[in-house]
Amino acid sequence: MESFKLPKIKMPEMTLPLAIQEVLQEAEEKLAGRPKLLQLFKNCFTNTLETTTKLMEDGTTFVITGDIPASWLRDSVEQVMHYVPFARDDADLQRILSGLIKRHIQYIHIDPYANAFNESANDWHWNKADITDMSPWVWERKFEIDSLCFSMRLAHSYWKETGLTDIFDAGFKSAMRLIYDLFKTEQRHFELSPYRFTRDNGIRTDSLSNNGQGMPVNYTGMVWSGFRPSDDACDFHYNIPGNMFAVVALRHMQEFAEWIFRDTDFLKELKALEADIDHGIQLYGIYRHPEFGPIYAYETDGFGNYCLMDDAGTPGLISIPYLGYVSAEDPIYQNTRRFALSKENPFFFEGTAARGIGSPHTPDGFIWHMALSMQGITATTKEEKLEMIAMLESTDADTGYMHEGFDSNDPLNFTRSWFAWSNSLFSQFVYQAMKEGIL
């Protein structure tokens, strides 16, 4: 996502919920010996609430990404996930989180194919010339399988943490049905799907080939995706980490169907779809690498072609345990992790200042702070976690915040100075390390 060129929206000031203030006080005590890390944590932990969050009169919550005045389904969830563990006894935090879930449900009803939405039906778009079925509510209509999964992820986490069920109304259930129906349709994209997307701006990764349909695919049981979490077009349209996330989201939806809505028929449908997708991942998504052994591919088309890489965005291969598909000890994940953190991954970069995963979305040699945070969150050793914290701490360009990508040889050269998702993921990682006692 590049920066939008209109003036920034100034979000209204928000009083921090008491639970968040208590976390800041805890950090003051536990990070007292590391003043720079303490300041980074304090800045980043509250960044979403202080700069990107707006409570709406209808009881929903609107969350922009930072330097773009629109709300991505994916980004907005990850911007608040580090707050969920503190919501059990904090009514203000519950209002913010439940409001965002309700906002997502409204957006899914407007267009389940869209990835980013406006605050109102103001007809703002990333590119007004996009050839697709646009709505005045939709900022961008790139179909990314993970977008819908993130909405279910937040709802499930909120429910499990608070025990509250106020979000589960008829609209929520019909949104679940929309997600299910879309996934079923996109299992057979070329036969059933109405979705097309082209953007005539000269950037290949911003548009789908083949008259907006994408490259041909074989039926695998997996769900077709037009674009990656980076908003770049897929090379091969079965994105493996995205389909893993779909499996996890369908498991969450099964819990909603069984325990909230008591709908056994829908439960059976969700289980069958989960099994189809998971079977496709196991059958088509594993590549026998000559050096690393069996690894998960990043993408495949079901015809035997594979995209072997990892991207800094979530969901990616490194983030598989974070998503909840398998544990960090899973042997194929461990093989995949070794591949992703090696020069065999074309987007793993090593410079004089840092080494880590970047993205085709940013220049060669640029590492993403989110990738370093995710590597730390999914690491199984204290040593690797501390290494990632040190790297993050030393590459903020003395801004006090995380960024999108930065030059692995010169952290002063970076993209997106106001990128709330990156700040939130960093905060989640540092707080995890605080609780583990390794700082």
Q: Mind listing the pLDDT tens digit for each residue in 376-393?
A: 999 999 999 999 999 999
pLDDT one-digit tens code per residue, 299-355: 999 999 999 999 999 999 999 999 999 999 999 999 999 999 999 999 999 999 999
Which tokens in the block code for residue 374? 């995710």
pLDDT one-digit tens code per residue, 43-68: 999 999 999 999 999 999 999 999 99
Looking at domain 18-436, its CATH class is mainly alpha
d(CA 124, CA 110): 15
pTM: 0.96
Burial (CB < 10 A; 0-12, 13-18, 19+), residue 312, is buried
d(CA 17, CA 48): 13
- DSSP per position, 153-176: HHHHHHHHHH---TT-SHHHHHHH
C-alpha triplet 375, 377, 382: angle, nearest 5°? 90
Burial 388-418 (b: 16+ CB within 10 A, else e): bbebbeebbbeeebbbbbbbbeebeebbbeb
d(CA 404, CA 232): 15
Q: What is the DSSP letter of 260?
A: I
Average predicted confidence (pLDDT) for the chain: 96
Q: What is the Cα 198 distance to its own chain's centre?
A: 23
Pairing mode, strands 348-350 and 366-368:
unpaired
**Domain edges within the chain:** 18-436
Q: What is the pLDDT of residue 1?
A: 38
Q: What is the pLDDT of residue 89?
A: 97
Choice among 55-59, 199-203, 216-220, 297-301 with the minimum mean pLDDT: 199-203
* Residue 202 pLDDT class (50, 70, 90 cuts): confident
- Max Cα-Cα span within the chain: 60
Contact 299, 238 (CB under 8 A): yes
The residue length of the chain stands at 439
Q: What is the pLDDT of residue 12?
A: 79
Q: What is the pLDDT of residue 11?
A: 78
Side-chain-side CA neighbours of residue 215 (13 Å): 17
d(CA 386, CA 55): 37
Phi and psi, residue 237, nearest 5°: -90, 10
Angstrom CA distances, 121 to 105, 132, 135, 346, 424, stand at 16, 17, 8, 40, 28
d(CA 170, CA 168): 7
**Cβ neighbours of residue 139 closer than 8 Å, sequence gap 6 or more:** 70, 71, 114, 116, 117, 118, 124, 125, 126
Which tokens in the block code for residue 270? 């969700």
Above 90 in pLDDT, residue 424?
yes
Contact 376, 360 (CB under 8 A): no
**Residue 401 DSSP SS3:** coil
* Residue 13 pLDDT class (50, 70, 90 cuts): confident
Q: What is the Cα 336 distance to its own chain's centre?
A: 19
* Residue 14 pLDDT class (50, 70, 90 cuts): confident
* Residue 9 pLDDT class (50, 70, 90 cuts): low
